[in-house]
Structure 1
């Protein structure tokens, strides 16, 4: 079966790249050689033209320098260097906007998601799926607390929102060019990619797999960061917490009225003396807690609105480096970028001299969220 049709603008010629693999990373120098080797082995076996798009989210351990050296001698590589650490969601956005393949795969550099599953994902795409979502059957190398919290979080999020995010899934997935184009139409700056993937809909295939431990290095996530991401997901795709706050306020008010009625009746009918201090402190403490929770929830949504209103770009690019050609260039295809034949690779650097023939936005994949400087 042939791959799904490309958008109209791309039908005039065969795309130079059939598959783009996006690898966002932060300080992963130890694992990048292994990651690149395993990706090469898998992708070379597909008999497809491909590119590997590495996105450096502000690394300081020599990761970018390692990849820059490989780009000079190897085909099919692209390196996007962000100006600082913008976060994984921004790094994935950058990779998606610069990927030029007919299908796009997102893969973490730590290799917990095995690249050996990419052929299965491509097969599902060729059978008609616009999104191939990888669902974790097991999570090796993760603590019971992280597994339990992830289990509870995804089920809570799906109860709160209508996005229909598949439980136990991450960013490891394949998207067709149609799905990528739909995703790039979403304009928000505060981005929760798992929810955005689900929101666009389109035919989706789910494949179960066993997640591996990290191949090398240590995780860059901590529980505070995961909690922040969880709150981002809830507030991005649901207003249920605001309704809950309203319900909590109503319940507190009714409880206060009921408590007042009970005290009044006991005083009038039984003649009991009212001991005001303990009950007053308890009521004030309870109501103060309700008010602070409500204000905090309102603050989350107001803060998100404020961040969106500033219209800042999702990320800033320091530079873009490309290999001269896509790997396994097929007959009749065209290279995705012009390069300096003497150097063997192309470099887009806003700090350097102006390029004589800058590639078009359609070819570089630059989207509405990117800013070169």
Structure 2
């Protein structure tokens, strides 16, 4: 089974399907292709409906709005019924294990490693995009990287503690030097520019630390609301097994 997230892909989706089917036809196994339309505003959904009418291997799920790549990947995994699922490649056991990780802020690359089953690597040649442009801008890639950093460790919080201890240590050392030199050299008033610079630097450190803490609090806040990862607008998948259709409190729900 292969699953493919889509977002405004009307120019390339039919050609992509043609190439994928040509490759899958060379293997001696039954397969299905699940396309997940991530709330696009072009003709992607209508093209998927046409493909499903002509090809019995095609399944599709269309979101009510754009929920993001991670939600689209989760929808594909939940609706998959095969013994293996290709994003890269997951066994049925690994797929079910990933679906048991019900966290709201998902970072799939980390989740795939988190389940801990044996892995294998293989080399392949990536295809060049024949038409259109990637939907991943630099800002989206940066935010995706931050999600991966914050979702699987608490090191940013530990770094924030160290950043707070560094200026504190410098300030205490400076205060000790002022107190120690006062009996010898007398009291001298520090320069205004130096004072402003120190206050500005400390304020910046505090804002960074508050931002890091806020990111973790936001993830807790989103998790306890238990909103669905996605809402389905249209699909040609009649049913799915337990835990795959997104009917649990933090999964997707069809409307």
Q: Are residues 1:197 and 2:112 paired?
A: yes
- The equivalent of 2:86 in structure 1 is 105
Q: Are residues 1:21 and 2:2 paired?
A: yes
Match of 1:72 among 53, 75, 84: 53
Structure 1 residue 363, shift from structure 2 partner:
8.1
List per-residue Cα deviations over 1:159-206 (Å, max 9, x = no partner): xxxxxxxxxxxxxx1000000110110111111111111100101001
Distance in 1 between residues matched to 2:182 and 2:95, nearest whole Å: 69
**Runs of 4+ deviating beyond 6 Å:** none
Match of 2:135 among 206, 220, 225: 220
TM-score computed with the length of structure 2 as normaliser: 0.93
Q: Are residues 1:362 and 2:241 paired?
A: yes
Counterpart secondary structure, 1:50: coil
Distance in 2 between residues matched to 1:299 and 1:229, nearest whole Å: 17
- The equivalent of 2:11 in structure 1 is 30
List per-residue Cα deviations over 1:1-47 (Å, max 9, x = no partner): xxxxxxxxxxxxxxxxxxx1001010111111221111111111102
Distance in 1 between residues matched to 2:160 and 2:30, nearest whole Å: 53
Counterpart secondary structure, 1:23: strand
Q: Which runs of 5+ in 1 are unaligned?
A: 1-19, 107-172, 323-347, 349-358
Distance in 2 between residues matched to 1:264 and 1:281, nearest whole Å: 21
1:1-373 superposed matches below 5 A:
20-106=1-87, 173-271=88-186, 273-321=188-236, 359=239, 361-362=240-241, 365-367=244-246, 368=248, 369-373=251-255
Change (3 A) 1:91 1:193: same
List per-residue Cα deviations over 1:117-162 (Å, max 9, x = no partner): xxxxxxxxxxxxxxxxxxxxxxxxxxxxxxxxxxxxxxxxxxxxxx
Change (3 A) 1:211 1:265: farther
Structure richer in strand, relative to its length? 1
Structure 1 contact 235–301 (Cα < 8 Å) conserved: yes
TM-score computed with the length of structure 1 as normaliser: 0.65
Counterpart secondary structure, 1:209: coil
Q: Which runs of 5+ in 2 are unaligned?
A: none
Distance in 1 between residues matched to 2:153 and 2:179, nearest whole Å: 41
Structure 1 contact 263–274 (Cα < 8 Å) conserved: no
Query: Which range moved further: 229-238 or 305-314?
Result: 229-238
Distance in 2 between residues matched to 1:33 and 1:72, nearest whole Å: 13
Counterpart secondary structure, 2:235: strand
Structure 1 contact 100–363 (Cα < 8 Å) conserved: no
Structure 1 contact 22–105 (Cα < 8 Å) conserved: yes
Change (3 A) 1:96 1:275: same
Structure 1 residue 284, shift from structure 2 partner:
0.8
Structure 1 residue 272, shift from structure 2 partner:
6.8
Structure richer in helix, relative to its length? 2
